[in-house]
Chains A and B, each alone.
Chain A
Amino acid sequence: MPESAPEAAPWPAPRGVRRHRGSFEEFWVRFRRNRLAVAGLAVVLVYVAVAALADGLYSYDFITGNQIPNTFAPVGTAAKVEWAGKESTHLYVCGADNFGRDVLGRIVHGARVSMIIGFTTIVFAVAIGGGLGAGAGYFGGAFETVVMRGTDILLAIPNILFALAIVAALGPSFQNLLLAIGVTSLPVFVRLVRASVLAVKDQEFVEASRAQGAGNLRILLLHVLPNCMAPVIVQATLGMAQSILSAASLSFLGLGIQPPSPEWGNMLSEARPYIIRAPHTLIFPGLAIMTVILAFNLIGDGLRDALDPKLKG
């Protein structure tokens, strides 16, 4: 019902709302020019697809169940396996590990764990950290002081150390791992969003909106935050890489996902004693971690260049 909408006034719509779509196309054109970033995006999409289809590719029970006769089957071996009462030939694309389990299958299921961890922790960190930062920047006062001092304290403990301490205290489990990584990723977003909000909140278009009678929440959500998104998106992408790496590191130390559940870090930890006998059990999970982190870093760099041309020399 356009005739009843008071927004259909003669002056142009506020920048924060309208600019969005146009600037997305502009952004995409710029992003696409960066071939490395596009390659990174493709790699991440492949990982996401693999993670989503993990169950279809390899049955979870198969890759966690022992196939002792095929222990350390070399890369590319086709071997007989007995599974679910049937005997069949299975191709070990990346070989088998110390329990004869398919390494590629475990990497595929590990991808799912890593993607879930990366995504959940960053969504948590952006939502909570961003919310606190936005509140601190917009309202200021005592709230800001409390939030920012808290952030200073959290930032004073190095990430991996803090995550280690949290998991050590609460015990190793999937939830605690998520909590540890989520909490340690949080302070960066508080600072980032607060700084952006401070830069935006006194600009004319915000004042204009306030003059029209918009409330604080409306101004914050519709005008201020959309203009703060660029650095948050970049940081979230880089943070995803960091989260996946932290999860793998903690699992490697035995404090994350516990075997026999497949996770890249714990696969490496399990394979460590067999470095002489079966190097393939070490090489492939590590490659999986490295490629996905590299891909996220490439996207992050590409996004930074595309979203904030000022930063590019």
Chain B
Amino acid sequence: MLRYIIRRLFQLVPVVLGVTFIVFTLTYISPGDPARMLLPQDAKDEEVADLKHAMGLDRPFLLQYYHFLFGFHSEGGSFDYKGLFMLDLGRSYVSNRPVFGTILERFPNTVLLAVSAMALSILVAIPFGILSATRQYSRTDVVVTVLALVGISIPAFWLGMMLIWIFSVQLRIFPSLAVPSNLWSIVLPVLTLAALSTAVQTRMTRSSMLEVIRQDYIRTARAKGLAEKMVVYKHAMRNALIPVVTVVGLQVGQLLVGAVLTETVFSYPGIGTIMVDAIQRKDTPQIMASVVFMAMVFAVVNLLVDILYAFIDPRIRVQYERSDKSGKGGLVNARKRA
């Protein structure tokens, strides 16, 4: 198991490097000159060139990438940064604050949204998924299935605005602006964010449960006279929930990212609104830092899920150990099963 974890950690390294390389390349090729943007409109070309040199933007591509990762020392010292690995990519062009400072400050707000949404969706999805599967083709099943389908089809930002229209404009129950200090105000964003994950988890629980419930050992359990409740909740559920756990795990990362739209709709001060603001203001260091940060969080969460997955299902653990030897990635297998 430990060997497996170490292996997975090492597999993360090329992915991290690749992601940073892509993000850096995108910024590098993006049109528009940050030095010119920072200077007044009537700045002379020499001034722009000087600033560019001071910021290190006139160096070759790979050297700039190296600076991006490991830091940069400018001559005057005013454009120093310690690089991505030290969580320092310099200061925002707009607010002049360290970009990662802003991100780390607001990250807990986004985590609050994502974790609440996740908790809500698990609480709703698993019972309804099981109910739907154990009463396949009943009226309950049809309603749950249709709602889940609508849930995966509804655009989150539109759902958010519709909730604002109903609950803030018409009924005046919840505020339309959300702030982390007021838990009442984050009800609507949490509902918005939870809709998709609830729908996905419900579908997953239902189909997984349907698959398990047809297996021989369930028939055996019934045949030996076990109460139906016991069969469903003790025998079937344990196995049925394994793929659901994977999906839940993969969604944690997606929720953190999906918060971008929800946060925008509710003007919630999270990491998503940082990014959208930064994009609108062409605040390059802030954009880069937010994208890389979110991608890293996503990668780490997925890694944790992968490990957790091997932990809860002894069968998978055996499979992993085998695939360890054959050199195939564990996540691929886990996802395939899901």
List residues of chain A with CB under 8 Å of any chain B CB: 149-150, 152-154, 156-158, 160-161, 164-166, 168-171, 195, 241, 245, 248-249, 252-255, 268, 272, 275-276, 279, 282-283, 285-286, 289-290, 293-294, 297-298, 313
Contact = CB atoms under 8 A, between A and B. Distances in A.
Which of A161, A249, A286: most chain B Cβ within 10 A? A161
Given A282-B162, A286-B162, A293-B155, A160 B257 contact: yes
B253 A275 contact: no
A161 B19 contact: no
Given A160-B258, A161-B294, 4 more contacts: A171-B32, A245-B155, A253-B276, A275-B161
Leading 8 A-B pairs by shortest Cβ distance: A153-B18, A286-B158, A169-B26, A169-B30, A294-B153, A293-B153, A158-B257, A168-B279
Given A286-B155, A289-B158, A290-B154, A161 B264 contact: no
Interface in B208-227: 210-211, 214
13 contacts: A152-B14, A152-B18, A160-B261, A161-B257, A161-B260, A161-B291, A164-B279, A165-B26, A165-B287, A165-B291, A241-B153, A254-B280, A294-B150
Interface in B306-324: none
B158 A290 contact: yes
B295 interface: yes
B260 A156 contact: no
Contacts of A156: 15, 18-19, 295, 298-299, 302
Contact of A249 (B23, B26, B157): B157
B262 to A, nearest CB: 11
A285 B158 CA distance: 9
B149 interface: yes
Contact of A298 (B31, B149, B176): B149
A295 to B, nearest CB: 8
Contacts of A248: 155
Interface of B: 14-15, 18-19, 22-23, 26-27, 29-32, 149-150, 152-155, 157-158, 161-162, 164-165, 169, 176, 207, 210-211, 214, 253-254, 257-258, 260-261, 264-265, 275-276, 279-280, 287, 291, 294-295, 298-299, 302, 336
B214 to A, nearest CB: 6
Contacts of B302: 156
A245 to B, nearest CB: 6
Contact of B298 (A157, A283, A290): A157
A286 B253 CA distance: 26
Contact of B253 (A153, A158, A245, A297): A158
A152 B260 CA distance: 23
**Which label, helix, strand, loop or mixed, suits the secondary structure of the A interface?**
helix
Contact of A158 (B154, B210, B298): B298
B244 to A, nearest CB: 16
Nearest to A289: B155
Contact of A313 (B155, B214, B276, B287): B214
Contacts of B14: 149, 152-153
Given A156-B19, A160-B260, A297-B149, A275 B214 contact: no
Which of A169, A253, A276, A279: most chain B Cβ within 10 A? A169
Given A156-B18, A165-B287, A286-B158, A275 B164 contact: yes
Contact of A164 (B150, B169, B254, B275): B275
Nearest to B291: A165
Given A160-B260, A165-B26, A283-B162, A249 B211 contact: no
A153 B15 contact: yes
A161 B295 contact: yes
B169 A279 contact: yes
A254 B176 CA distance: 21
Contacts of B214: 313
A249 B155 contact: yes
Nearest to B23: A165
Contacts of B19: 153, 156-157
A274 B265 CA distance: 13
B238 to A, nearest CB: 19
Nearest to A313: B210
Contact of B260 (A164, A171, A268, A290): A164
Given A161-B295, A165-B287, A249-B261, A170 B161 contact: no
